[in-house]
């Protein structure tokens, strides 16, 4: 007996098709949409972070290949930032180019005079300094609870060690000579660049911006202005702080009667350029040198006095002078210095804070008013437009 299949009319088929279409077109649940949105956002952010990390790694690698050039350019920018106010002062009585060159000659005269004075002072008192150093080391060795010998024993042991390791010592001396030659090359190149940065830095930057696509020129112009303002402000501020700390340290060490007051003053001046780590190193070096040339009481007094100077630096001078330029949390500064030291040693520790401050200032400036940056309008105090077209247009 044959079974007859159920008969479905055309209306039922049409309703079924419409239901299927409606089901397929229905929006996904809110939870599913949120999940897909979260995954998409996280994935996009992850790829951006990977790209940024790769770009930073590439920049660090390229800098390592041309480290001498990078150091020379950085030193030239530092000198330019410091000497530009002096050049502007000379500019009131001299032509622009001659005024900037005179500011560089002033720096060379000051540095040369201080170096000559330090060397001549140490040379003239070399016999007294050697006697004080020998006496201080012998007193320190005698005060220890265990026997470490005397200075004469150390000299004899040093002579024996030199004879046994003369080859290694010669290699180290050759490496030191090579390092000194590299340092001279860096200084000469930095001076050469400083002359051009002082006399035509704006024209050089304008030429660079002009080579970029037109849609990027205004953004780069604003970024360059912000970065240079931050870098120059930080550099001038830290130079003033270093000079103030060195002056206080020199006066204090002279009053204490330290025979190496002037060389230690130079150490204090240079140590300020290494944030956080430099002042601590200056305190330790000053105390150790005082202990070697004097007595433990003098060393303690010097350590306490240098600590007071470091506290004035950290709690008064730095916040007032460089705090506005380096808008970074101390944790961020510590991490930047650590990363810079790991990547590039002492050089990384020196440049970590200013480079991080410049990067953050540029990022904050471009993020603050993206519409204005796209339109080329600077967010300055005057509210004047800063597009390339506006800068090129004659004043009405």
* DSSP character at residue 145: S
Lowest mean pLDDT among 14-28, 72-86, 101-115, 292-306: 14-28
Q: What is the pLDDT of residue 332?
A: 80
Count Cβ atoms within 10 A of the Cβ of residue 359 and give its class: 0-12 exposed, 13-18 middle, 19 or more buried: middle
% of the chain residues with pLDDT over 70:
74
Q: What is the pLDDT of residue 13?
A: 52
Question: CB neighbours of 133 closer than 8 A, spacing ≥ 6?
Answer: 292, 293
% of the chain residues with pLDDT over 90:
10
Domain ranges of the chain: 63-149+179-211, 215-396
Q: At what angle do helices 96-124 and 261-271 cross, to 10 degrees?
A: 140
Q: Mind listing the pLDDT tens digit for each residue in 49-98?
A: 888 788 877 877 887 788 889 989 999 999 999 898 888 888 888 888 88
Q: What is the pLDDT of residue 369?
A: 55
pLDDT band (50, 70, 90) for residue 19: low
Q: Mind listing the pLDDT tens digit for each residue in 97-127?
A: 888 888 888 988 888 888 887 778 777 767 7
pLDDT band (50, 70, 90) for residue 138: low
What are the residue ranges of helices labelled H in the chain? 10-25, 30-65, 67-90, 96-124, 126-143, 151-164, 166-210, 214-256, 261-271, 277-293, 296-312, 330-368, 370-375, 388-392
Q: What is the pLDDT of residue 141?
A: 66
Residue pair 328/311 in contact by the 8 Å Cβ criterion: no
Rounded distance, CA 378 to CA 219, Å? 10
Q: What is the pLDDT of residue 108?
A: 87
Which range of 15-19, 164-168, 258-262, 309-313 scores highest in mean pLDDT? It is 309-313
Residue pair 283/310 in contact by the 8 Å Cβ criterion: yes
Look-up of token digits 């500064």? 333
Q: What is the pLDDT of residue 29?
A: 57
């Amino acid at each position: 007996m044959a079974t007859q299949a159920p008969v479905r009319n055309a209306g039922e088929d049409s309703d079924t098709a419409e239901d299927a279409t409606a089901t397929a077109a229905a929006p996904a649940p809110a939870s599913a949409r949120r999940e897909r949105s979260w995954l998409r956002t996280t994935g996009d952010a992850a790829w951006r972070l990977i790209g940024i990390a790769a770009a930073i790694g590439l920049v660090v690698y390229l800098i390592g290949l041309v480290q001498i050039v990078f150091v020379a350019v950085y030193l030239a920018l530092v000198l330019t930032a410091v000497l530009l106010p002096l050049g502007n002062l000379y500019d009131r009585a001299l032509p622009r180019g001659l005024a900037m060159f005179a500011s560089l000659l002033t720096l060379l005269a000051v540095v040369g005079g201080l170096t000559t004075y330090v060397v001549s002072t140490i040379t003239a008192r070399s016999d007294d300094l050697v006697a004080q150093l020998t006496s201080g080391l012998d007193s320190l060795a005698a005060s220890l609870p265990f026997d470490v010998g005397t200075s004469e024993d150390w000299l004899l042991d040093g002579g024996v060690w030199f004879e046994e390791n003369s080859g290694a010592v010669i290699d180290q001396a050759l490496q030191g000579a090579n390092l000194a030659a590299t340092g001279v090359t860096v200084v000469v190149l930095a001076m050469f660049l400083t002359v051009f940065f002082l006399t035509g830095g704006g024209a050089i930057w304008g030429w660079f911006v002009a080579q970029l696509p037109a849609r990027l020129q205004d953004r780069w112009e604003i970024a360059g202005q912000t970065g240079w303002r931050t870098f120059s402000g930080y550099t001038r501020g830290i130079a003033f702080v270093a000079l103030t700390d060195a002056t206080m340290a020199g006066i204090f060490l002279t009053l204490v009667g330290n025979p190496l007051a002037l060389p230690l003053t130079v150490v204090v001046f240079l140590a300020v350029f290494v944030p956080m780590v430099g002042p601590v190193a200056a305190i330790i070096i000053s105390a150790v040198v005082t202990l070697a040339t004097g007595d433990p009481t003098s060393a303690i007094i010097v350590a306490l006095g240098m600590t007071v100077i470091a506290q004035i630096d950290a709690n008064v001078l730095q916040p007032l002078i460089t705090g506005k330029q380096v808008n970074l949390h101390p944790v961020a500064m510590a991490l930047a210095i650590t990363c810079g030291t790991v990547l590039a040693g002492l050089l990384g520790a020196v440049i970590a804070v200013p480079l991080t401050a410049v990067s953050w200032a540029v990022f904050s400036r471009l993020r603050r008013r993206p519409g204005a940056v796209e339109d080329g309008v600077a967010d300055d105090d005057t509210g004047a437009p800063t597009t390339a077209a506006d800068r090129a247009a004659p004043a009405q």
